[in-house]
Amino acid sequence: MKTPLLAVALLAAMACHAEEAVPRESPPGSATAVFAGGCFWCMEPPFDELDGVLATTSGYTGGSVPEPRYEQVSAGKTGHVEAVEVVYDPQRIDYAELLAVFWRNIDPLDDEGQFCDRGAPYRSAIFVRDSEQRRLAEASKQAIRERLGRPLATPIRDAGVFYAAEPHHQDYAQKNPLRYRYYRSGCGRDQRLAELWGADARH
Catalytic residue annotation: 39
Helix (DSSP H) and strand (DSSP E) numbers for the chain? 8, 8
Measured in degrees and rounded to the nearest 5, phi and psi for residue 126 equal -115, 125
Are 188 and 42 a contacting pair, CB within 8 Å?
no
Task: Give the span between the Cα atoms of 119 and 91, in whole angstroms.
Answer: 37
What stretches of the chain show up as alpha helix (H) in DSSP? 7-14, 40-48, 70-74, 95-103, 131-148, 172-175, 177-187, 189-197
Is the separation of the CB atoms in 113 and 38 below 8 Å? yes
Q: By the 8 A CB rule, do 79 and 119 touch? A: no
Rounded (5°) CA angle 74-177-79: 15
Dist CA 48 CA 87 (whole Å): 10
